[in-house]
């Protein structure tokens, strides 16, 4: 088991390294010069060159890469070109917002998807099970940003129940915070819940067909009891995998949702920085997302070992 974990950890580190090279290289080939964006369309070549030097963009790319990596490892990726604001604290601020949004959405999605998925599986031969199953299929097809736009126009613009967007700091304005969290969380959780519910359904259906469940029934357990005592733990393995992958897509989906709802999270920072060609900020934000995604995958792997005793024995 330790060997297996070590192996996973090494894959994790190598993936992060490879990703950093890719992200760095991609930002170098992206058209558009940060210095020219800062100086305006009539800037002379001499002043653009001077500013590139000030930004440190005239140095060899290897030096720039190593400098950036060192900055990230020491948790101080430097300052922004234009605003001169420190990048680290900015990302930390924005990350909090995004994490609140993503976590809320994930919890919401699980709370909806697990009972609904089990229901759909248990009742898969009944009308209600089929209807729910069809509804979840439709849900899978609705993109989060569309759900967001619809939710805003109904609940914010028409009914005036909640604000149409923005953000409030929870400690300063808890009510405003919750009001602003509701719609984006639902928009983000919607698709996830639909996808997840389908996985839960098929996982439970698989388990229901297993011999050990029939045996449990034969012992005299009622279907729900049998599922509860013997089925769910086994059904959880594939669901946890999907959950991990979905957490990663949620992080990325939040980028779009933050824009629709004017939420100052990591996504809006990323989009602003791309427009301004704040290369360092973009690179660092993308790496934060990459590390988060890889970390989730790693943790899911580790979780397997806890859930599934079969994996704990042999080294592979």
Partner 1 sequence: MMGRMRTSTTTRSLVAAVAATALLAGCNAGAGTSGSPDGGSEDGSGSADEGGDGDAGQTGGTASGGSDETVRVGLVAEPASLDFTTTDGAAIPQLLLDNVYETLVTVDVETGEIVPALATDWEVSEDRLTYTFTLEEGVTFSDGSEFTAEDAAFSLERVSSDAWTISLKSQLDVVESAEAVDDTTLEVTLSRPSNSFLYALTTRVGAMFDTEGVDNLAEEAVGTGPYTFGTWDRGSQITLERNPDYHGEAPYFATVEMRYFQDANALNNAMLTDAIDVVSTVQAPESLAEFEGGDFQIVEGTTNGEVVLSMNQQEGNPLADPALREAVRHAIDHQALLDTCWAGRGELIGSMVPPTDPWYEDRTGDFPFDAARAEELIAEAGAEGTELRLRIPTLPYAVSCGTVVESMLEDVGLEVTIDELEFPAAWLETVFTTKDFDMSIVAHVEPRDMANVFGSPDYYTTYGTEQVQTLFEEADTGTEEEQVTKLQEAAALISEDAAADFLFLLPNLMVADPDITGLPTNAIKESFDLGDLARE
Which residues within the stretch 250-309 sit at the binding site for partner 1 (CB under 8 A)?
259-262, 264, 268-269, 271-272, 275-278
- Give the span between the Cα atoms of 77 and 178, in whole angstroms: 32
Size of the site for partner 1 (CB under 8 A): 63
Which residues within the stretch 196-255 sit at the binding site for partner 1 (CB under 8 A)?
none
Q: Does 49 bind partner 1 (CB under 8 A)?
A: no
Q: Which is nearer to partner 1, 276 or 293 (CB)?
A: 276
Q: Which is nearer to partner 1, 45 or 211 (CB)?
A: 45
Q: Where are the alpha helices (DSSP H) in 74-173?
A: 87-122, 127-141, 144-151
Q: Does 152 bind partner 1 (CB under 8 A)?
A: yes
- According to CB under 8 A, which one of 20, 23, 24, 38 is a site residue for partner 1? 38
- According to CB under 8 A, which one of 60, 125, 158, 316 is a site residue for partner 1? 158
The SS3 call for residue 194 is helix
Do residues 44 and 308 touch, judged by C-beta distance below 8 A? no
Q: Does 96 bind partner 1 (CB under 8 A)?
A: no
Q: Which is nearer to partner 1, 4 or 36 (CB)?
A: 36
Do residues 278 and 23 touch, judged by C-beta distance below 8 A? no
Write out the two tokens for 87: 């990048």
Taking residue 60's Cβ as centre, other Cβ atoms within 10 Å add up to 8
For residue 86, the cross-strand partners are: 79
Q: Where are the alpha helices (DSSP H) in the chain?
A: 2-29, 34-39, 45-55, 61-73, 87-122, 127-141, 144-151, 174-208, 211-218, 223-226, 232-260, 266-276, 279-307
Q: Which is nearer to partner 1, 254 or 300 (CB)?
A: 254
Q: Does 161 bind partner 1 (CB under 8 A)?
A: yes
Q: How far is the CB of 253 from partner 1 (least distance, A)?
A: 16
- Give the span between the Cα atoms of 156 and 168, in whole angstroms: 16
Taking residue 137's Cβ as centre, other Cβ atoms within 10 Å add up to 11
Q: Does 150 bind partner 1 (CB under 8 A)?
A: yes
Q: How far is the CB of 117 from partner 1 (least distance, A)?
A: 27
- Give the span between the Cα atoms of 281 and 275, in whole angstroms: 11
- According to CB under 8 A, which one of 179, 202, 225, 234 is a site residue for partner 1? 179
The residues of the shown chain that bind partner 1, judged by CB under 8 A, are: 30-34, 36-44, 47, 50-51, 80, 82-85, 90, 93-94, 146, 149-150, 152-154, 156-169, 172-173, 175-176, 179, 259-262, 264, 268-269, 271-272, 275-278
């Amino acid at each position: 088991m330790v060997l297996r974990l070590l192996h996973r950890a090494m894959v994790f580190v190598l993936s992060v390294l490879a990703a950093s090279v890719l992200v760095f290289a991609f930002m170098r080939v992206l058209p558009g010069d940060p210095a020219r964006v800062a100086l305006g369309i009539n800037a002379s070549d001499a002043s653009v060159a001077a500013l590139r030097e000030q930004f440190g963009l005239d140095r060899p790319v290897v030096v720039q890469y190593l400098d950036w990596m060192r900055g990230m490892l020491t948790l101080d990726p430097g300052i922004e070109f234009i605003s001169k604001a420190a990048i680290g604290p900015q990302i930390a601020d924005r990350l909090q917002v995004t994490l609140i949004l993503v976590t809320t959405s994930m919890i919401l999605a699980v709370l909806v998807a697990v009972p609904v998925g089990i229901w759909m599986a248990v009742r898969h031969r009944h009308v209600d099970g089929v209807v729910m199953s069809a509804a979840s299929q439709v849900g899978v097809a609705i993109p989060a940003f569309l759900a967001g736009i619809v939710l805003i126009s109904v609940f914010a613009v028409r009914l005036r129940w909640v604000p149409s967007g923005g953000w409030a700091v929870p400690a300063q304005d808890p009510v405003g915070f919750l009001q602003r969290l509701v719609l984006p969380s639902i928009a983000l959780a919607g698709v996830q819940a639909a996808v997840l519910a389908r996985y839960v359904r098929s996982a439970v259906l698989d388990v229901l067909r297993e011999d050990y469940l029939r045996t449990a029934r034969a012992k005299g357990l009622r279907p729900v009891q049998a599922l509860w005592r013997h089925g769910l733990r086994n059904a959880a393995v594939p669901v946890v995998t999907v959950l991990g992958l979905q957490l990663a897509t949620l992080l990325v989906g939040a980028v779009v949702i933050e824009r629709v709802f004017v939420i100052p999270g990591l996504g809006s920072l990323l989009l602003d920085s791309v427009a301004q060609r704040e290369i360092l900020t973009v690179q660092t934000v993308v790496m934060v997302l990459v590390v988060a995604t890889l970390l989730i995958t790693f943790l899911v792997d580790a979780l397997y070992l806890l859930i599934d005793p079969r994996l704990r024995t042999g080294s592979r």
